[in-house]
Amino acid sequence: MAEKASLARRLTLFFVPIIASAAYILIMIWLLPDDLMAIMGLFLLSYFISPFGREVLIPLTTIALLELHGAGHMGTDIFMIVATVVFVDVMCSIFLLWNLDLLKLVPRLGNWIDGIERFGRAKLRRSRLRRIGMFAGLVAYDALPFQGTNGAASTLIGLLAGMRKARIWLAVWLGSIIGSLALAVASFTIGQEFMIDIFGNASWKATSILLTLGILIYLILSYYRHRVRKETVRT
């Protein structure tokens, strides 16, 4: 009986974000005209699976919306852009928060993931200032207009850093809203081509990738040094 309950819980945690995402898309199809749905649907799909981040996709989507119905619907367009980005970010985040522990079943990899989490959790428990700083840092990271600074990457960093799941999800919410709103407003007011020229070049993409990799490598190396010190003390 307990095994059936555990399996049902696992299936629920796995499929609820997927079902919620499908429901969101169906609501979009029901509410939006076909031409507007084509733009927003492509934006949602591109943000979810393409290598481009919101810093490029939002200006591109802004161009399509302006060509469709001009600047008269700017407020509604900004709302739709922000809502779409936030929805993708928070759904990816909750999926990882609920299901990343499946990786812990993998031999060796699971031990490393669990060890890094416990190490980060122990460090955060010792300092309230560190907890506040980590939360603020994760919000800022998610809000940055860099490729890869999205709900999935932010959640992975938060988990490895030992943050509580509720705080990670809140940080993703805040960072996603702040980042997407700033980009959407800038795209409509400063100019889409200007934004694409800044955020679409190779050096900006390289900086984005190095930022995320640097954070993950730092967390892994910190835990590795901790393990080495423990082994040294034991011997």
Average of per-residue pLDDT across 203-232 = 83
Q: For the segment 46-65, what is each residue's pLDDT rounded down to a tens digit?
A: 898 877 789 889 999 999 99
Read off the DSSP letter of residue 148: T
Read off the DSSP letter of residue 162: T
Average of per-residue pLDDT across 64-76 = 90
Q: What token pair was written down for 54?
A: 């919101």
Query: Which has the closest alpha carbon to 53: 17, 92, 94?
Result: 92
Q: What token pair was written down for 194?
A: 């200007």
Whole-prediction pTM:
0.90
Domain ranges for the chain, please list them: 2-234
Query: Which has the closest alpha carbon to 53: 170, 193, 179?
Result: 179
Q: For the segment 131-170, what is each residue's pLDDT rounded down to a tens digit?
A: 999 999 999 999 988 877 688 889 999 998 989 999 999 9
C-alpha span between 93 and 87 (Å, rounded)? 10
Query: Which has the closest alpha carbon to 53: 27, 78, 24, 89?
Result: 89
Split at pLDDT 50, 70, 90, the class of 91 is very high
C-alpha span between 98 and 11 (Å, rounded)? 11
Q: What token pair was written down for 72?
A: 């008269």
Q: Helices 128-143 and 151-160, interaxial angle, to 10°?
A: 160
Classified as helix, coil or strand, 163 is coil
